[in-house]
C-alpha cells in the first residue's frame, strides 16, 4: 500500500518526540565521558540560507552514546551549548568553532593525527617527494598504535576495573617509550623543511597545520584511553553523507532536530552492535507507557547499553539455571 510522505514524516516526528527524553539522558551521560569524539558535516535545508550543520559527538566506553546535534549555523554557539559544563578531552579536528572551549581547567583538545597526515598525502600526490619522509614517520606512529595492548571494557568488578586502569597506564608508558622519539624526529624534520616550503603550497600548508596544532596532536600521549585519530566520529558521520543521497534535504529546522534524535538512537545502536529495529520495537512502547509518570530510573533501563545488558542477562539466566 502507498503511504503519503507527509504521514511517514509525521510518524518520524512523533517517534522523535517519544525518544527525546532518552536523547536528553544520553546527552547528559555523554558529558560525563573522559573523552568525547566530535565532528560535523553540512546538510541542506529547503528554506533559504546556508551553513546548516549536523554534528556528531561520541562518548567514551563508559558512556557509549552517539549524539547528533543539528544547528542552523556554523558558529561556535552550537558546540558551546552542546558541551556546556564539559571539562574532559575533546578529540576533534582543528576547527575554529571549538577554539573557545579549550583552555586550562576547561576542555583539552586532542587533534586528529589522521587530518595532519592527509595534508602530507595531498602534498605527496602533487609530486613533492619531501612529504614521503613525513608519511613514513606517521606510518611508524600508526604501527606503534597497532602493537599496543587493547583497551579493556568497563566492568563492575573491582579487580577488572583495576586491570583496566593498569592497561591504560601500560599503553601510556609504551607510547612514551616508542612514540615520543618519533614525534621528536617529526619535529626536527618540520623545522628543517619549513624554510624551503612556500606557506600556501601543499607541503607548506601541511607543515603549517602540524606546527600550529603541535601540542594538540601530541596530547593523546597523555592518557592511555585516548586515540591517535578521530576516525571513529568520521565513520559515524557517513550515515549523514549516505542519507543525503536519499532524503536530500531537511524540510525545516524542526526536521533537523527530529533527525538528530533519530540518528542518535540508531547511531548508538549501531555503535553497540545492536539491531536498531529490535531495540526500537521495545524502546518506543517502553517510553510511551509511563506517560507523565516517567522516571529517570525507567529511562535508564531504556538506554541502548542498559537494554543490551539486561537482554544479555535474561538470555544467560536460563542457561545458568540448568547447569
CA distance readout (Å), 102 to 95, 223, 226, 263: 11, 17, 17, 27
8 Å CB contact between 83 and 60: no
| Predicted local distance difference test score (pLDDT) of residue 203 | 97
Average pLDDT, the chain: 89
pTM for the complete prediction? 0.89
Cα gap 154→169, rounded to integer Å: 15
What pLDDT score does 249 carry? Answer: 67
Which cell is 314 given?
535474561
- Gap between the Cα atoms of 280 and 285, Å rounded: 8
Q: For residue 46, what pLDDT is reported? A: 65
49 compared with 170, residue with greater pLDDT: 170
pLDDT reading at 320 higher than 60? no
Torsion on CA atoms 278, 284, 286, 288, rounded to nearest 10: -170
Average pLDDT over residues 282-299: 82
pLDDT score of 70: 87
Decide if pLDDT at 84 tops 90. Answer: yes
Q: Please say if the pLDDT value at position 321 is more than 80.
A: no
pLDDT at 83 over 90: yes
Residue 234: pLDDT band with limits 50, 70, 90: confident
Amino acid at each position: 500500500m502507498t503511504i503519503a510522505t507527509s504521514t511517514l514524516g509525521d510518524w518520524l516526528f512523533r517517534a522523535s518526540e517519544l525518544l527525546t527524553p532518552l536523547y536528553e539522558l544520553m546527552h547528559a551521560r555523554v558529558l560525563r565521558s573522559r573523552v568525547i569524539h566530535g565532528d560535523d558535516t553540512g546538510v541542506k535545508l529547503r528554506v533559504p540560507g546556508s551553513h546548516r550543520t549536523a554534528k556528531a559527538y561520541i562518548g567514551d566506553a563508559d558512556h557509549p552514546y552517539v549524539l547528533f546535534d543539528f544547528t542552523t549555523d556554523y558558529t561556535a554557539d552550537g558546540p558551546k551549548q552542546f558541551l556546556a559544563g564539559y571539562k574532559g578531552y575533546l578529540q576533534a579536528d582543528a576547527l575554529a568553532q571549538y577554539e573557545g572551549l579549550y583552555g586550562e581547567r576547561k576542555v583539552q583538545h586532542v587533534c586528529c593525527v589522521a587530518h595532519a597526515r592527509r595534508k602530507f598525502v595531498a602534498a605527496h600526490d602533487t609530486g613533492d617527494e619531501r612529504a614521503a619522509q613525513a608519511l613514513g614517520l606517521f606510518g611508524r606512529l600508526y604501527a606503534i598504535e597497532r602493537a599496543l595492548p587493547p583497551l579493556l571494557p568497563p566492568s563492575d568488578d573491582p579487580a577488572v576495573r583495576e586491570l583496566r586502569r593498569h592497561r591504560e597506564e601500560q599503553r601510556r608508558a609504551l607510547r612514551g617509550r616508542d612514540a615520543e622519539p618519533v614525534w621528536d624526529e617529526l619535529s626536527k624534520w618540520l623545522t628543517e623543511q619549513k624554510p624551503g616550503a612556500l606557506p600556501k603550497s601543499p607541503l607548506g600548508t601541511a607543515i603549517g597545520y602540524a606546527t600550529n596544532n603541535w601540542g594538540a596532536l601530541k596530547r593523546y600521549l597523555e592518557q592511555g584511553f585516548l586515540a591517535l585519530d578521530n576516525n571513529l566520529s568520521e565513520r559515524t558521520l557517513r550515515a549523514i553523507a549516505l542519507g543525503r543521497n536519499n532524503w536530500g534535504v531537511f524540510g525545516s529546522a524542526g526536521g533537523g532536530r527530529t533527525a538528530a534524535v533519530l540518528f542518535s538512537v540508531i547511531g548508538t545502536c549501531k555503535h553497540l552492535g545492536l539491531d536498531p529495529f529490535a531495540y526500537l520495537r521495545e524502546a518506543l512502547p517502553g517510553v510511551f507507557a509511563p506517560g507523565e509518570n516517567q522516571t529517570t530510573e525507567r529511562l535508564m533501563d531504556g538506554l541502548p547499553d542498559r537494554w543490551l545488558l539486561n537482554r544479555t542477562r535474561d538470555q544467560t539466566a536460563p542457561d545458568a539455571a540448568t547447569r
